[in-house]
């Protein structure tokens, strides 16, 4: 990057959404007298009798978990979406509404209550990806399910209600707005160039090697040029793969490997269990062909200055557009320099 851009305010364009972000690298020099959080040093047990996600334990809805040994999924006892909702619309002048239906599932990554993804083995994470594939295929094949969103909220500051390693899947009738924005951009580029915009972007990033964190034969982990969150990262396959159901056995292992190494490095930034929201964007399951789609997994972590200082989206970010204080290149260099060995095992 031009030195001036790494030192002075500028805007960057997100090719996947068509939106801009303000970058203000000079602001990292300002003193901080804002809110800090106490770092949690609590060690979790392998099994918690009070955890509703641990094997053999009862859940709040009355069901009892099996004595599962590998990743386990179930319909959320307190789903945001319900399956049998009559399809209706409402219009009155400028007021519009429509019913929504779907299925919400919980995915327990491991029976071990003490683990997180960076503390799991490549083989264990491969099992998680296999379950994600199964759920995407099964849910996406259901009538009335046009999109399957796989995501994880890690850490209580990200709204995670249970520390047991788990994520969620929301499958629904409509295609969510963030996905639709990307679909439109991906399709426009595909129609014009007959190539994937993300595949072309990855090739450029690999050639420049300014924001690459790690790569293997099939996947790359990088800080996107247009990243919003301080240490935002993205994992994507090098070849155009529309959704995780298309991953070969070797690609699935490669995905697990780079997912593990990326989350280890995030934990190592401030030597803490790094909070984030992570999600996979992939082709809708609406029965249409989607040659434009190239799946990717994004991590949005809120920590900026230390393990106890969070980046909030407030003020200008809420009323104007996103803004960040460190450049994507600075963040990538920080993450890239870290070890692949988790700080707790060094």
Of 164, 254, 211, 200, residue with least CA distance to 6 = 211
Judge whether 166 counts as a catalytic residue: yes
* 3-state SS assignment for residue 234: strand
Of 106, 113, 92, residue with least CA distance to 42 = 113
- Find where tokens 């094997």 sit: 55
Determine the Cα–Cα distance for residues 89 and 98; give it in Å rounded to an integer.
Answer: 4
Under DSSP, the state recorded for 160 is -
- Residues whose CB falls within 8 Å of the CB of residue 188, separated by 6 or more in sequence, listed in order: none
Tokens encoding 183: 């679909």
Of 47, 165, 65, 169, residue with least CA distance to 109 = 165
- β-partners of residue 323 are 22
Is 165:110 a contact under the CB 8 Å cutoff? yes
Determine the Cα–Cα distance for residues 295 and 237; give it in Å rounded to an integer.
Answer: 7
- Residues whose CB falls within 8 Å of the CB of residue 295, separated by 6 or more in sequence, listed in order: 236, 237, 241, 242, 243, 244, 280, 281, 282, 283
Of 53, 44, 48, residue with least CA distance to 110 = 53
| Residue in 113, 164, 166, 243 annotated catalytic | 166
- Find where tokens 């040029």 sit: 225
Give backbone dihedrals phi and psi of 345, rounded to 5 degrees, phi first.
-115, 5
DSSP-H helix ranges across 93-164: 122-140
Give backbone dihedrals phi and psi of 81, rounded to 5 degrees, phi first.
-120, 150
DSSP assignment string, 287-320 = SS--TT---EEEEE--EEEETTEEPP--THHHHT
| Active-site residue list | 166
């Amino acid at each position: 990057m031009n030195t001036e851009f790494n030192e002075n305010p500028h805007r960057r364009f997100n090719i996947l959404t068509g939106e801009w972000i303000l970058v203000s690298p000079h602001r990292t020099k300002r003193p901080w007298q804002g809110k800090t959080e106490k770092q949690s040093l609590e060690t979790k047990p392998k099994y918690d009798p009070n955890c509703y996600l641990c094997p053999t334990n009862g859940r709040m809805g009355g069901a009892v978990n099996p004595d599962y040994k590998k990743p386990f999924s179930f319909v959320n006892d307190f789903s945001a979406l319900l399956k049998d909702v009559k399809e209706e619309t409402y219009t009155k002048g400028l007021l519009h509404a429509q019913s929504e239906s779907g299925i919400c599932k919980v995915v327990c990554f491991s029976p071990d209550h003490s683990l997180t993804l960076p503390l799991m083995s490549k083989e264990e994470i491969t099992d998680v990806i296999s379950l994600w594939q199964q759920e995407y295929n099964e849910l996406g094949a259901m009538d009335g399910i046009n999109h399957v969103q796989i995501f994880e909220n890690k850490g209580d500051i990200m709204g995670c209600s249970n520390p047991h390693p788990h994520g969620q899947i929301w499958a629904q009738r409509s295609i969510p707005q963030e996905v639709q924005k990307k679909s439109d951009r991906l399709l426009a580029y595909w129609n014009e160039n007959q190539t994937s915009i993300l595949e072309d972007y990855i090739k450029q990033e690999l050639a420049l090697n300014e924001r690459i964190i790690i790569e293997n034969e099939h996947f790359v982990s990088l800080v996107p040029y247009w990243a919003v969150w301080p240490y935002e990262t993205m994992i994507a396959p090098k070849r155009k793969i529309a959704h995780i159901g298309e991953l070969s056995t070797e690609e699935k292992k490669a995905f697990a490997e780079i997912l593990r190494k990326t989350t280890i490095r995030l934990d190592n930034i401030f030597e803490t269990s790094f909070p984030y929201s992570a999600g996979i964007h992939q082709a809708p399951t609406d029965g249409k062909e989607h040659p434009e789609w190239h799946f990717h997994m994004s991590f949005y972590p809120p920590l900026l200055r230390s393990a106890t200082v969070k980046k909030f989206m407030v003020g200008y970010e809420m009323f104007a557009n996103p803004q960040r204080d460190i450049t994507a290149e600075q963040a990538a260099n920080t993450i890239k320099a870290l070890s692949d060995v988790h700080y707790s095992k060094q």
